[in-house]
Chains A and B, each alone.
Chain A
Amino acid sequence: MTSIAFNARLRGALLAGAGIALCAAALAPVQEVRAQGAPGELAWADTLPSGLDPHVVFDVPMQLYMLNVYDNLYRYQGNPPELVPWLAESHTMSEDGLTWTFTLREGITFHDGSDMTAEDVVYSFQRVLGLGRGPASAFLSYLQPENVTALDERTVEFVLDTPYAPFLSAIPLVSILNAGLMREHESDEDWGSAWLASNAAGSGAYAFDPASYIPRGNITVERFEDHFLGWAHNDDPIDIVRVPFIAENSTRILALLNGEVQATDSYLPSDQVERVEAADGVHVASDESMRVMVIRMNNGKAPFDNVNFRRCLSHAFNYEGFIDVILQGHAVRNPGPIPQTLWGAPADVPGYSYDLDKAREACDLARSEGAPVDRTVSIHTQSELDLTLQAAQVLQGDARQLGLNIEIVPDTWANMTGSMGSMESTPDMWIHWVSTYFVDPENWIGQMYDSQFHGTWKASSWYDNAEVDELLRTARTVTDEDTRRQAYEAASRIVIDEAADIWIYNTIQMRGMSDRIEGYEFSPVGSGAEFRTLSLTD
């Protein structure tokens, strides 16, 4: 075909059509672009809880929400975390360890202006037990709703069925709700859950703003002037904090660099640390936490029911390589289930080293004992967390040198934890972290290796050892800390010797942060996301 001469009118029309989008760009006011956030407002780009009910949702992001919007009787502060009186000014425990009495402070008000009394505390604990979700699992086995009573306006009594030493440690799991407000919004015996899914009934340092709430999108909180602690500790507190959920790491870091947000979440990837440190006006806050990365092994399934096969895999993981190269040194080797920074972790147990000769020996021994060492085993990783895939690949590579076949199965947290109701449906291996919900060895070794918890994701190794069960149950029921420490150390030695799982490291949590933020205080519980102490410089 001969080329068609193109006249000016046609060219103009078509170019105009193609250029509409580019012309529109010129309309966008450039002064909006270099957003620094509104003055006096903090944008804290962290992960959000899936819901707003602190008695239902039980995950790490919920800690950010509940520590700001709600209060609890006792609370963890600092690093290492110390349990301090919060709404309660004191407590007593009976000699038999069954009766606990808490005395509330005076002058505590909720966000709606009503006074907090012991009735609100009773309602809150009864609601947790009645719903039977999330944090209830820490109390249900030894506390009945009718055994939480108000002795007077400021005194609450708990009578336990059996002694439970970590009871006080677990107290911060329960946020205290405004009972009067909740009862106004209850329907069909739902404990007000439907209403609380979009609202709040707290007394915390910051009040939730329902109007700006986008589930999985944004939470905005406003400073509560009448918080019971007052604001004398902070000369220049922040009035409004927005918590946008930015799913993509890259976008979150760019937003920090250009000043749109003043903080990222506390899981800054190692390969981004240098970039943030090198940029002007921002830095990385890094703190050793209590969050242990672990490769679980289903001890109930062959060949994992053979202790030598488990030892073989424990020697086949390149701990130093993973920590030094992939995490660029931003982690601390943790040879057992309890974080090394917590009492109960035996200091004299080095754990397993990366040693392929020892691994080969152990595997040969397992093979000679009849373990089906050569079958392909699967390791499930969390698709949303790259580190789990990288850990699986490190193990897979070295296991291949031993002639072992490991198949990597990308999965999601919800799918995996939902499949752990029975030994058969639990994966051969899977990778996750055990975070700090309450600061007691019970949170780690107690719930991971006591056989009574089989069927829960925390006990998904299906480890079964009567001696360990006995030690853990003793540690749970005696109140003397020295006896408890000895029991946890003894139990740790056994589970490490029997290689119940592969424990890799204790996390150093890293948060990208603007230099404008002052007053940042990290605690493993909540990861430093309490806004009370923060201020923003200009």
Chain B
Amino acid sequence: MLLFLVRRLILVIPVIFGLLLLTFIMIRVVPTDPAAALAGENASAEQIAAIRAQFGFDQPVIVQFWTYLGQVVRGDFGISLYSNRPIGADILLRLPATLELTFVALLVAAFGGIAVGTLAAVWHNSWFDHLIRIFTVAGLALASFWLAIMLQLLFSMELGWLPLRGRLPSGMAPPAYITGLYLVDSLLTLDFRAFTTALGHLLLPALTLAFGGLATVARFTRSSLLETLQNDFVTYERAVGFPNHRIVLPYALRNSLVSPLNQIGLLFGGFISGAVVVEAIFDWPGLGSYLVGAILTADYKAILAVTLVVGLIYALVNIAVDLLQGIVDPRVGGDL
């Protein structure tokens, strides 16, 4: 298991290198000159050339990449072309918001999806199963921006049950900073008012983000569990008089989780990209909205840094999912 972990962690390095190289080349081959935008209106060709030299835009792309790689290895993401602040600091400011949103969405999608999928399999061909089928098709088909706006209109504007936007109400101080995750920090500091307020703000964006993923996990769980329930060992357990909940929960469901777990790992990537839309609509101050701003202002070092961070998190989450599979399925675990 430890050897597997080390091997997988080492393999992350070339993946991240490839990701950086690809993104760097894609950004720099676009026929645009950030120096012209930086110089401002009415700047002369000389001024633009001076800025180009100052920021190294006049160097060959490969030289620029090499310089950038040297910085990144030292943990320096560089300075934002626009805000003139260290990009690492800006990302650290926003990363917890995105992590909190995506992980809560992942939990909702995973537990919700497995629960719903299990119910649909157990009540196979019942009205509930048909209802879930409609729900899962809708989950895959609905555009997240539409769902987000509908949820806002219903829960915030009509019913007034949940907040419209943001992580906390305007002017409310966040809990004392420990991890940057408001739910965790408020629990660690026993600030329950902050916890419930932060949770209330998190619900709509997390549900929006989780909806499609929940449908996917439910479908995979349902079909996988249905297949397992037809195995000989289930027939045997039934024959010796095991009660149904003993059959489904510890045995059949555990045997059925390999495929949904794979999906959950893949979902995380979708959640990170989906967060761009969800964060924009719910005014969630995370990496997604930072990335959109960086793209619109051609702040290429900021784009690269976000790509790197997201790529790294994605790789780590998938390693974690592989390890989890080993725990759930000893046949896989033996190969680790």
Contact = CB atoms under 8 A, between A and B. Distances in A.
The reply to whether chain A is a binding partner of chain B is yes
B179 interface: no
A418 B37 contact: yes
A260 B171 contact: no
Nearest to B87: A215
A135 B149 CA distance: 39
A4 B126 CA distance: 11
A164 to B, nearest CB: 13
A33 B162 CA distance: 6
Contacts of A56: 84
A94 interface: no
B160 A214 contact: no
Nearest to B218: A18
A24 B152 contact: no
Contact of A246 (B36, B152, B283): B283
A414 B169 CA distance: 33
Nearest to B286: A217
B124 A30 contact: no
Nearest to A196: B84
A361 B184 CA distance: 71
B162 A25 contact: yes
Contacts of A20: 108, 111-112
Contacts of B261: none
Interface in A346-364: none
Nearest to A11: B119
A239 B263 CA distance: 51
A151 B165 CA distance: 53
B66 interface: no
B254 interface: no
Interface string B177-208: 00000000000000001001101110100110
B320 interface: no
A415 B29 CA distance: 12
A52 B80 CA distance: 12
Contacts of A267: none
Contacts of A29: 193, 196-197, 200
A258 B207 CA distance: 22
Given A50-B82, A133-B51, A421-B45, A251 B283 contact: yes
Given A33-B160, A35-B170, A258-B157, A384 B296 contact: yes
Nearest to A38: B171
A20 B289 CA distance: 28
Contacts of B166: 244
B39 A133 contact: yes
A96 B119 CA distance: 88
A10 B245 contact: yes
A9 B200 contact: no
Given A35-B163, A50-B82, A50-B293, A247 B200 contact: no
Contacts of A81: none
Interface in A9-48: 9-10, 13-15, 17-18, 20-21, 24-25, 27-30, 32-35, 37-38, 41, 43
Contacts of A28: 161-163, 196-197, 199-201, 203
Contact of A21 (B123, B207, B289): B207
A223 interface: no
A107 B203 CA distance: 52
Nearest to A261: B170
Given A9-B245, A197-B84, A215 B90 contact: yes
B40 A216 contact: no
B84 A250 contact: no
Interface string B38-68: 1111111101101100000000000000000
Interface residues of A, number: 90
A142 to B, nearest CB: 12
Interface in A237-271: 240, 242, 244-248, 250-251, 254-255, 257-258, 260-261
Contacts of A456: 36, 41-44
B220 interface: no
- Of the four ranges (under 10, 10 to 19, 20 to 34, 35 or more), the interface on chain B belongs to 35 or more
Contacts of A417: 36-37
A228 B42 CA distance: 33
B156 A254 contact: yes
Contacts of B84: 51, 53, 56, 193-194, 196-197
Contacts of B108: 20-21
B48 A421 contact: yes
A455 B37 CA distance: 11
A21 B151 CA distance: 15
A138 interface: yes
A132 interface: yes
Nearest to B227: A1
Most B CB contacts (10 A, CB to CB) among A17, A138, A420 go to A17
A262 to B, nearest CB: 10
A300 interface: no
Nearest to A447: B42
Interface in B214-244: 226, 229-230, 243-244
Contacts of A33: 156, 160-163, 200
Contacts of A248: 280-281, 283
A447 B41 CA distance: 9
Contacts of A30: 160-161
Nearest to B290: A216
Contacts of B39: 132-133, 137
A41 to B, nearest CB: 6
B85 A215 contact: yes
A51 B83 contact: yes
Nearest to A48: B293
A514 to B, nearest CB: 14
Given A6-B123, A13-B249, A260-B170, A247 B289 contact: yes
Given A51-B85, A415-B298, A14 B285 contact: no
B304 interface: no
B47 to A, nearest CB: 5
A58 B85 contact: no
A412 B292 CA distance: 11
A57 interface: yes
Interface of B: 30-45, 47-48, 50-51, 79-80, 82-85, 90, 93-94, 108, 111-112, 114-116, 118-119, 122-126, 149, 152-153, 156-157, 160-166, 169-171, 193, 196-197, 199-201, 203, 206-207, 226, 229-230, 243-245, 248-249, 280-283, 285, 289-290, 292-293, 295-299
Given A216-B290, A414-B298, 5 more contacts: A29-B197, A215-B93, A254-B156, A419-B32, A456-B42
23 contacts: A3-B123, A4-B244, A7-B243, A15-B119, A17-B114, A18-B116, A41-B171, A50-B299, A51-B84, A137-B47, A138-B41, A197-B83, A197-B84, A215-B93, A216-B83, A254-B153, A254-B156, A412-B296, A414-B298, A418-B33, A421-B45, A447-B41, A456-B36
